[in-house]
Structure 1
Amino acid sequence: MRSPSPRLPVLLGVVVVVALAVAAGWLLHFGATGTGTADADAALLTDAVAVRGPRLTTAAVTVTTIGSTAAMAILAVSMCVVSWLRGRRADALFVAAAALGGSALFRLLKSLFDRPRPPVATRLVNETNESLPSGHATMSVVIVGALVVLVWPACGAAARVVLVAAATLWVAAVGATRIYLGVHWFSDVLAGWFVGATWLAVCVVARRSWGSRPGEPAPQDADPITPDDPAVDR
């Protein structure tokens, strides 16, 4: 039986990128025009305002601050530094590309669509730039997703389930706080998640593709085991 082509994961990754990009494009269009989203956006914002309370607001502000683009930038820099010092320069470049590209992308899209935020009267925090897509949602997916990619090889099956669940819950929580605080419509957040996922997928595919080029070493998922390693049976 012939072994699968080493480029098969890259090709599958390209399919995922295209699917995510199409979904993100549709969500951006719907959010910008209000087609099919206006009622849901208004209803969810109304529901968020209705359930507000002091403790919940404190928790939401805390989560949204930790999940801010500034905090994600600090996390990305930390990941880059640690990867570089450990000799994993490909990982450092991967995180840098993901962070810088993701930040530039969501800012470009905000300027392009120029969607107004929800009414000032509903906001619990101050925001002055455009609404679509949510930068918090975009960068939480990109940076937390990049962290998952880096630690994935070191995790066992059970740990991977916990890792993905924790990352998903965190990204969802950050997005939910943006609606609760009245600074984003739901469609902004949803579009941000898909924009972030699309860019993260592009970076992962590029990383994998570079490693599968003839003459190029594949990205190292873990430190190689040498004959002197005590874990090797003799």
Structure 2
Amino acid sequence: MALDATAVTLLALGVLIGVAVLADRAAGGALATVPGALRDTGIVALLVLAAGLVFTLVATDQALADADAPVLSWVLGIRTPGLTSAAEAVSLVGGTVGTGGLAVVAAVVLFARGHRRTALIWVLGVVAGALAIRLVKVAVERPRPPEALRLAEETTASLPSGHALMAALGLTLTAAAVMALTVGTPRARLVRRVVVVLAVLGALLVGASRVYLGVHWTTDVLAGWFLGTALAVTCITLARVLDARARLGDSPDGDLPVNSPGTSHSAE
């Protein structure tokens, strides 16, 4: 498998983002002035590094590569008609078009509510996710599990899982849009908790369904989750930083609240 270049690229990117975070903190730059932005950018660096580590270990460490086989073997032992039907339904609904499309719908609603800049970032994030799936699959060319074990037909390469990547990206962006649109409402905190739980559970179920159906190795799904979440957090952080700069410049086009998810949001 041609994993080396992709793994090195991800590891280098993660390190560069981490260095940028430290430099911004030391200089008191744009990220340091936006609550939560510095932390979230650091999270992006860790996620990208984690994805790069998965790619590296799958390519060079036979122990980790062999770890995928026992998981698939366990999955084969728990398959039932009911679970198979459920996994097929989750995989269908949670496909790249479904979860990516959900984020685009959220972007349309944001645009209609005046959050034009954030809407554009959301759409660009989904496009970036789709391109990342295609480019990495072509670069890596990892074989999928044996065809005899699959319960669904797939023809593309295995790593990363496109379903897992787009589910993490699309559901996170959708949750962030819902939270932004409910800022200042009486049930904002409850809504925030509910959409976060639903987004996490949704992404987990989509990824698990791909392993259950035998069309992906577990490490494919892990890499997809890491990359998709990294893209989502990047989009959210970018929207916050740009919004903070617009507010400082007295721009009327304020988008996402600049507060981190764990703090109380100011009304728009």
Q: What TM bracket, shorter-length normalisation?
A: 0.7 to 0.9
Letter in 1 for 2:240: R
Q: Shift of the alpha carbon at 1:140?
A: 0.1
Change (3 A) 1:87 1:7: closer
Conserved in 2, the CA contact under 8 Å of 1:69 and 1:136? yes
Conserved in 1, the CA contact under 8 Å of 2:178 and 2:195? no
Give deviations 1:48-74, integer Å, cap 9, x for gaps.
111111111111100000010121233
2:93 is matched with: 66
Question: Quick one: distance in 1 between partners of 2:159 and 2:60?
Answer: 11
Task: Give the structure-2-normalised TM-score.
Answer: 0.76
Match of 1:141 among 165, 168, 178: 168
Question: Quick one: distance in 2 between partners of 1:134 and 1:193?
Answer: 8
Q: Secondary structure at the match of 1:61?
A: helix
Question: Quick one: distance in 1 between partners of 2:194 and 2:158?
Answer: 32
Match of 1:219 among 255, 260, 268: 255
Q: Secondary structure at the match of 1:198?
A: helix
1:170 is matched with: 202
Give deviations 1:125-155, integer Å, cap 9, x for gaps.
0000010010000000000000111112425
Match of 1:151 among 178, 195, 198: 178
Letter in 1 for 2:213: L
Identity among equivalent pairs (%): 38
Question: Quick one: distance in 2 between partners of 1:224 and 1:18?
Answer: 30
1:192 is matched with: 224
Task: Give the structure-1-normalised TM-score.
Answer: 0.86
Deviation beyond 3 Å, 4+ runs, structure 1? 32-36, 220-225
Letter in 1 for 2:43: V
Letter in 2 for 1:129: T
Q: Shift of the alpha carbon at 1:186?
A: 0.3
Query: Aligned residue pairs: how many?
Result: 222
Q: Shift of the alpha carbon at 1:220?
A: 4.1
Is the aligned partner of 1:179 residue 2:215? no
Aligned counterparts, 1:21-60, within 5 A: 21-60=48-87
Letter in 1 for 2:151: L
Unaligned runs of 5+ residues in structure 1 are 226-234
Letter in 1 for 2:207: G
1:19 is matched with: 46
Higher relative contact order (CA 8 A, sep 6+): 1
1:205 is matched with: 237
Conserved in 2, the CA contact under 8 Å of 1:24 and 1:198? no
Unaligned runs of 5+ residues in structure 2 are 1-31, 258-264
Conserved in 2, the CA contact under 8 Å of 1:63 and 1:173? yes
Is the aligned partner of 1:99 residue 2:126? yes
Letter in 1 for 2:199: A
Conserved in 1, the CA contact under 8 Å of 2:239 and 2:256? no
2:149 is matched with: 122
Bigger shift: residues 33-42 or 65-74: 33-42
Q: Secondary structure at the match of 1:132?
A: coil
Question: Quick one: distance in 1 between partners of 2:61 and 2:137?
Answer: 15
Bigger shift: residues 177-186 or 195-204: 195-204
2:29 is matched with: none
